[in-house]
Structures are given as C-alpha cells and as structure tokens.
Copies of this chain bind each other. A is one copy, B any other.
C-alpha cells in the first residue's frame, strides 16, 4: 500500500475515528486503525466491537492495500508532522513507513485481515435530521442514563420516531429526561434503544451545524449514523424500554415560574458545602413570590431567596442538587416552569410545548431544619 494525504486531512480523520479505539483491551488489534486503500478510496476505520467508526480521507492512492497500525502512536506521529503531504507506505513484514518532508518514521503494523470489519448495514430504514439537532438533544438528555450495567436498558437512550415526531428519552432510578422535536419528513413508527457510550462519542464528532445533515439507518440489531465522510456503526440494546407515559402527569398543586440562571447559580453555590460522597439535599421553601433555598452540612450553611411567580399551594420540598443542576443547565429558556404535586412526588420541569420534560424525584428531609 502507498498513499499520499495532506497532514491536515489525515489528522482530521484520525481524530474522528479515534473515538472507537478501545482503550482497555487485551486484544491488541482493537487498539488499531485499519487503513484501506481500495477502489479509489482511502478509509480509516476503528472498531471496539461495540462501536465502529469509518472515515474517508481525501488523498492519492499510488498502490492499493490495507494495513492495521497501532492507533495511539499513529495519531501522535501524524499530529506532530509538519503541515505538508504525508506518504504512508507499507513494506514486507508489515512495516509502515510514514514520510513527511525530511521526517521519516518507521513503525510495525499488522495485516489488515486481522482487523474485524464493520458489520454491513442494510440501508433501507432511516431518519434524517440536522447534526445540530441531534447533538443538542443528546446533550440535553444523556446525563440521566444510568452509568452502571445493573439494568442494561437504563444505560441507553430511547429513540422513538412516529411520523414526523422524534422523541429521545433517558432515565435512571431518580429521574427522566425527555426531548421532543419535529422531523422534516414523515417516517414509519419505530423505537430503538441506543447505547449511551455511542451517543456520547457521536456528540464529539458531530459538526453541530444546522445545515449539515445526518442520516440514521437502522436494522434489527444495528444502527448506522452517516454524515460528512463518516460512518458510525453501533449495536442496538435489545429489550423493551420502560413505559414512561404512566410516570408523567399533567396534574400539579404548585407551579413555579423562575429565572433559570438565578436558580442554577444558587443551586451550584449550595453544592460548595457538600463534600464528595455526602448526600445533602437542597431544601426549597416555596411561598407567594419567593423561593427560599437552604443547604446545611458539616462545612456550613447557605440560605438564599429568589423571586418567583407562584400558582397554587405553598410547598417545602428537597432535592439532590446535582439532579436539578444536570437538568436546568441544559435548558436554553431564560425562564422555566416547575410543577409540583407534594413533597413526596416527583417535580416536573417542562416548557408549554413539552419540547423538553425533566422529571426529578425529591428526597426526604427534616422540615424543621
């Protein structure tokens, strides 16, 4: 194999594909990139068996072929080369010669055949949306997936398409996050559960531009995200997602309208008094026109008032401050509405159109504090 690509193109490609390189593995091949020069295309691929990413690099093929190279050292060499054309050439025994200007690196590679190819995804069913929209809705929900594997369903997000409506849901045992958006086109109804890790990695390589499109193809077991010169392949989590509709209610006893920034700053300040591992709640005392927030720990106490608009009953209710912060932080609105039933029932933060819905369970507290 002999190919010539610009350093900047190579580096861009390597940075994208790196997200699917396994960092903890006993299989050295999973720590490799596959470089393929075939049928007029130069492709770099990584595959950690959960997630696979493939990117096409612009460049010139002088001799077709394939080679697997250790991803970390290859990335670092490319990163440090001068801004010029880079030649990658293989020789006998899978030696890889990387040349740029007067700089010559020689590293050992592996046969391309050792590399596990990405599964072929049938391009039949898909939905299409902007990279911006997908990146945003992942960011606005991903924080409430469960991070351990006790319940595998909770480690993924539900993607639910119904005609032109697209709903994304994540939940753990304390909260539910939902985003609803409209798609430009109509599709057949479909539900799938996508691993959180896939979505996290995806947000890092999506452009975030509104005019850039992404297509999501799906089969029974796999997903393919196709955008720009990149393909991301992921397995789908098998199983039935939780029935969340029955957990959401439109009833409330108290409705609070509050400035998002003020509330967020106050809750963030309160966490200064909470040492790691310490589970101190923040207590909200909601009365006409005022929300008093209180935190008490071994370090000290905090007490703060925020002006609000209130409908319905007075209430005192306590939350894990982290859960409130996670949800409020990703809301774009300047003013938010919080709906509460009683001190034992979840609160719901949502806008009128329900483009976002955040449900958070309260915690027990000592009202006399």
Contacts and interface: CB of A to CB of B under 8 A. Distances in A.
Interface string A296-327: 00011111111000000000000000000000
B268 A299 contact: no
A73 interface: yes
A245 B80 CA distance: 38
Interface stretch (A15-23, A99-107, A182-190, A348-356): A99-107
B300 A80 contact: no
Contact of A305 (B102, B301, B302, B306): B102
5 contacts: A73-B300, A81-B269, A103-B303, A105-B273, A105-B300
Copies in the complex: 2
A103 B302 contact: yes
A81 B272 CA distance: 11
A11 to B, nearest CB: 14
A229 interface: no
Given A76-B272, A102-B305, A272-B77, A300 B265 contact: no
B80 A299 contact: no
Interface in A2-18: none
A301 B95 CA distance: 11
Contacts of A91: none
Using C-beta atoms within 8 Å of the partner chain, give the interface range for chain A.
Answer: 20 to 34
A272 B273 CA distance: 43
A111 interface: no
A106 to B, nearest CB: 5
Interface in A250-302: 265-266, 268-269, 272-273, 299-302
B73 A272 contact: yes
B302 A105 contact: yes
A76, A108, A266, A302 interface centre (most CB from chain B within 10 Å): A302
A300 B266 contact: no
Interface in A85-117: 102-108
A28 interface: no
Nearest to A104: B303
Interface of A: 73, 76-77, 80-82, 102-108, 265-266, 268-269, 272-273, 299-306
Nearest to A109: B300
A106 B296 CA distance: 9
Contact of A304 (B104, B272, B304): B104
Given A73-B299, A105-B300, 7 more contacts: A73-B273, A102-B304, A103-B266, A104-B303, A105-B272, A106-B301, A108-B300
Given A80-B265, A265-B82, A106 B73 contact: no
Contacts of A272: 73, 76-77, 80, 105
A300 B106 contact: yes
Nearest to A79: B272
Contact of A105 (B104, B301, B305): B301
A232 to B, nearest CB: 28
A76 to B, nearest CB: 5
A77 B269 contact: yes
A304 B103 contact: yes
Contacts of A273: 73, 105
A104 B305 CA distance: 9
Nearest to A70: B299
Contacts of A104: 302-304
A306 B273 CA distance: 57
A350 B106 CA distance: 33
